[in-house]
Structure 1
């Protein structure tokens, strides 16, 4: 029987799970196709970051609670997405008076581009673009493009960018445990 928390059957990694703290709020705007995938790393963020929320993306019905947060004077929202000529990236700057609200598109890159294109309310947000300092350690799906990060790696990079290095290191350790365990568990073997 699989662990109800980490989902692994032969190699539970719950003992590796850190409990993190961070002043920023993280929102995973998840494509519906991602919700049932066991390769989804956004789950790692949901388990470890107490102020991390998930909303399911819907082209016709955007999540009302998220739209309210975006309009709130309490938050400084950022859309984590590559810039382009029409929507240039803005360098990250913390504000003392508002809580950062980072929107991460929890989807494949093809799905994420569609989500942005078909959601005008996302286009209004300031874009934050990340420059990875190392190669992605995520190799669980085919057709991955070089230079791209999975959802959890993007969260780790955001923690580093906002000055939360110990939390980033703890989440990186948990992510590494997930990656190291995934194939062994799915093939029915204990991790070495």
Structure 2
């Protein structure tokens, strides 16, 4: 029987999730389709970061709690590449010294573009884009465009931007291990090693 928390049948990972009490502040705006996808990595960020919160996107009814959080925060930043976005390093130099509230769209790339296009309140936010330090290791979905990162990888890049390199590496190592376990569990067996390399 599969674990009710991590979802794996042959190799429960619940005890191995990294936990960061003091880290970046992230608001995950999740497309409704993403909530039940086994391939979702936003749940890793939610588990690892005590400062992460999840909100569900709706075209007709923006999440009021997120709008309030944005209104009350001195430095909200939408992490989304567009013709209006700036490199994240420039956003840091130009804006408040207060640690940012990073709004991250948790969706496929096609869904994320739709979310942004149909949400004027998202378009009104200061926008930044990442300049990844490496290529994506995410292999759970087909038709991934080169340069795109999964949600958890976005989190690790944001950590590096904030100078939290040890946390970023720990989360990156866990994601790499998680992907191995996912593939093995989907094929009906446990992996040989039960430790994160």
TM-score by shorter chain over 0.5 = yes
Root-mean-square deviation (Å): 1.4
**Structure 2: distance between partners of 1:103 and 1:17:** 22
**Residues 22 and 164 in structure 1, CA contact (< 8 A), matched pair in contact too:** no
Equivalent runs, 1:1-192 vs 2, <5 Å: 1-72=1-72, 74-84=73-83, 87-89=84-86, 91-93=90-92, 95-96=96-97, 98-192=98-192
**Residues 31 and 57 in structure 1, CA contact (< 8 A), matched pair in contact too:** yes
Question: Stretches of 4+ moved more than 2 A in 1?
Answer: 21-24
**Structure 1: distance between partners of 2:126 and 2:8:** 37
1:22 is displaced (CA, Å) by 3.3
**Residues 136 and 147 in structure 2, CA contact (< 8 A), matched pair in contact too:** yes
Corresponding residue pairs, total: 188
**Structure 2: distance between partners of 1:82 and 1:163:** 21
Cα deviations by residue, 1:123-150 (Å, 9 ceiling, x for unpaired): 1111110111211000101111011100
Q: Scaled by the length of structure 1, what TM-score is found?
A: 0.93
Bigger helix share: 2
Shift of the 23–138 alpha-carbon distance from structure 1 to 2, 3 Å rule, reads closer
**Structure 2: distance between partners of 1:16 and 1:70:** 32
Look up the SS of the partner of 2:91 in the other structure: coil
1:5 is displaced (CA, Å) by 2.1
Cα deviations by residue, 1:40-78 (Å, 9 ceiling, x for unpaired): 000000111001000000010000010011111x43100
**Structure 2: distance between partners of 1:92 and 1:9:** 43
1:23 is displaced (CA, Å) by 4.5
**Structure 2: distance between partners of 1:155 and 1:47:** 12
Shift of the 30–120 alpha-carbon distance from structure 1 to 2, 3 Å rule, reads same
Q: Scaled by the length of structure 2, what TM-score is found?
A: 0.91
**Residues 42 and 151 in structure 1, CA contact (< 8 A), matched pair in contact too:** yes
